[in-house]
Amino acid sequence: MPAKDRAPYPLPVNPSAAQLYIPRIASQAAFATNSTPRWFAAATTAGTDVWFTVFAERPAQQRWEAVTTVLLNNQPPPKIALDGNGFATAMDANGLPTKPDALKAAVIDNYVTGGQQNAKKVLTPTPASQRQVKIHATAGKGYGDKARTTFAGVTSSDPTYALRTADGGTLVLFSHTHTQTDAVTRPGFGLIPTKRDQPSLGTTPRPVLQYTFLCANAATVAHGGGPAQLLDTSCARTDASGPRTRV
């Protein structure tokens, strides 16, 4: 790869300086009902950013894999509780005051309604949550009245990972999937796929373009309940599609 293409993607972390959070096997028994394999987390620093990654065991392949990564921009992760031997404690996320499904629905609501429904009940305002609301408010503005943009959640069953924090709360790492659909509102108009999508979609204008995003989220849930705090979200676009026929 040419140097000019590598420049925007520097090595983000120093693996040798990672802070590991390894739950005792006994504390992971709470996840048995979810068929979640053994796992541990690692926090690696790049400047003022922290990459928080979960690694899960794959017994059949006899290896460990990174299964979710959240970039915490300009903020440290919450302090994780460690016992006298340096082990962390895995928490049963389904036993928390705010369940994983509620967290997922609230995050998706930020995109779908700008946080006017589930998010109001579940999340306290944070910069991460406000960034999602801003995406809802600004996506598609460049189309004017020729097209509109809508968001929708996609059902998924990704595992949730949770660690006890030093203040008695819980750090929850969970994923969600959502779509962004851009659709023309006037006959005769079409949306031209971006250069990124042209290898798969071509250059033919389309009445609808739909993008799918898989996102990893980090949030904290207080021991006594109350609104959760969304720390950050890292999204990757996994699909782009759209019919060729014009409206």
The amino acid at residue 48 is: T
Per-residue confidence (pLDDT) for residue 13, from 0 to 100? 53
Q: Of 153, 160, 166, 173, nearest to 82 (Cα)? A: 166
Per-residue confidence (pLDDT) for residue 15, from 0 to 100? 61
Q: Greater confidence, 214 or 17?
A: 214
In-domain check, residue 247: no
In-domain check, residue 111: yes
**Average pLDDT for residues 43-57, to the nearest whole number?**
88
Provide, rounded to the nearest whole percent, the portion of the chain with pLDDT above 70: 88
Answer whether residue 21 shows pLDDT above 70.
yes
In-domain check, residue 76: yes
Answer whether residue 9 shows pLDDT above 50.
no
Answer whether residue 32 shows pLDDT above 50.
no
Answer whether residue 62 shows pLDDT above 90.
no
Answer whether residue 137 shows pLDDT above 80.
yes
Q: How many domains does the chain have?
A: 1
Q: How far apart are CA 204 and CA 211, in angstroms?
A: 17
pLDDT digits (tens, 9 = 90+) for 154-177: 988 888 999 999 999 999 999 999
Q: How far apart are CA 193 and CA 199, in angstroms?
A: 9
Per-residue confidence (pLDDT) for residue 29, from 0 to 100? 54
Which segments within 59-165 are labelled E, that is strand? 63-72, 123-124, 147-154, 161-164
Encoding tokens for residue 196?
Answer: 């990124």
pLDDT digits (tens, 9 = 90+) for 212-247: 999 999 999 998 888 999 999 999 999 999 887 654
Helical (H) or strand (E) element with 136: helix 127-138
Helical (H) or strand (E) element with 109: helix 100-113
Per-residue confidence (pLDDT) for residue 212, from 0 to 100? 95
Q: Greater confidence, 52 or 48?
A: 52
In-domain check, residue 150: yes
Per-residue confidence (pLDDT) for residue 184, from 0 to 100? 94
The amino acid at residue 54 is: V
In-domain check, residue 34: yes
pLDDT digits (tens, 9 = 90+) for 75-122: 778 999 999 999 999 999 999 999 999 999 999 999 999 999 999 999
Per-residue confidence (pLDDT) for residue 36, from 0 to 100? 60
Domain range enclosing 78: 3-241
Per-residue confidence (pLDDT) for residue 10, from 0 to 100? 46
In-domain check, residue 246: no
In-domain check, residue 81: yes
Per-residue confidence (pLDDT) for residue 73, from 0 to 100? 85
- What is the rounded average pLDDT for all residues in the chain? 87
Answer whether residue 4 shows pLDDT above 50.
yes
In-domain check, residue 67: yes
Predicted TM-score (pTM) of the model is 0.86
